Amino acid sequence: MLNETILINKPINWTSFDVVKKVRSSIKKKLNIKKIKVGHAGTLDPLATGLLIICIGDKTKTISEIQNLEKKYLAKIKLGFITESFDREKKEIQKSGIENITEEAIFHIKNKFSGAILQTPPKYSAIKIDGVRSYKKMRSNDTDFTLSQRQVHIYSFIIKKITLPYITIEIICSKGTYIRSLANDIGIALGCGAYLFDLIRLEIGNYKLEDALSIDQFEEKYEFS
């Protein structure tokens, strides 16, 4: 347990650091130790669920290596509305009707968002501006700043389901890809606006969500409960 990689199915409304804190405190209590290194290999937003890789002890040295692996997501996107955070954290604003949005137009956007693309991270993100997280600046109404575009890679873009105003897509992408920004950009491309309604991380490299433990299962497996 002191040098292990654990796969967790992160619950909604938990931050990635909430999971790290839970694992760390459980181990410290169980083994009656004061200090143990615990970290995660790739942040999930609080409203996202799915695979979170927790590294313990010497395994924390592998975090950078894991973070560089491809990620697979299942994203549900709502068309016709936008939000300031690009997801459900902020109130939705109606942008445009979707009566003229055809399935053909939706399938066509796949070509625009495949391969190497440029995207701008959400202002509600952990990127630092002058040493301050951009989401903290936004929440303190310090909104007069810009974030630079970055190149990311979309290896696979599959439209799984269309039930307007929602579309569900499966994405395999590189490190640093913001699915919230992708949802926003899809809305711009379709001319109707869009935001990320739900997100599940399915895979990181060869690590799979199906092998992950819930928080309760983690506590039961390691006899923390």
Q: What is the pLDDT of residue 221?
A: 83
24 SS3 class: helix
* Helix, strand, coil shares, percent, the chain, to 5: 30, 35, 40
List, as one string, the DSSP characters of 56-115: EGGGGGGHHHHHTS-EEEEEEEEESEE-TTSSTTS--EE----TT--HHHHHHHHHHTSE
Share of the chain above pLDDT 70, in %: 99
User: Are residues 150 and 195 both part of a single domain?
Assistant: yes
User: Are residues 15 and 28 both part of a single domain?
Assistant: yes
Q: Report, as residue numbers or ranges, the catalytic residues.
A: 45
**pLDDT, the chain, mean:** 94
User: Are residues 187 and 76 both part of a single domain?
Assistant: yes
Supply φ then ψ for residue 170, to 5 degrees. -110, 125
Number of domains in the chain: 2
What is the C-alpha separation between 27 and 33, in angstroms, rounded?
8
User: Are residues 131 and 162 both part of a single domain?
Assistant: yes
Q: What is the pLDDT of residue 130?
A: 86
CB 56 within 8 A of CB 16: no
User: Are residues 216 and 195 both part of a single domain?
Assistant: no
User: Are residues 128 and 160 both part of a single domain?
Assistant: yes
State mean pLDDT over 86-106.
94
User: Are residues 185 and 166 both part of a single domain?
Assistant: yes
Q: Tell me, what CATH number does 17's domain have?
A: 3.30.2350.10
State mean pLDDT over 57-63.
96
User: Are residues 16 and 41 both part of a single domain?
Assistant: yes
Q: What is the pLDDT of residue 222?
A: 76
| pLDDT tops 60 at residue 225 | no
The maximal CA–CA distance of the chain, rounded, in angstroms, is 62
User: Are residues 192 and 210 both part of a single domain?
Assistant: no
CB 146 within 8 A of CB 162: no
State mean pLDDT over 45-72.
96
User: Are residues 184 and 97 both part of a single domain?
Assistant: yes
Residues 181-220 have pLDDT tens digits of: 999 999 999 999 999 999 999 999 999 999 999 999 999 8
Q: For residue 92, give its domain range.
A: 71-204
Residues 97-149 have pLDDT tens digits of: 999 999 999 999 999 999 999 999 998 888 888 889 898 998 898 888 889 99
User: Are residues 112 and 189 both part of a single domain?
Assistant: yes
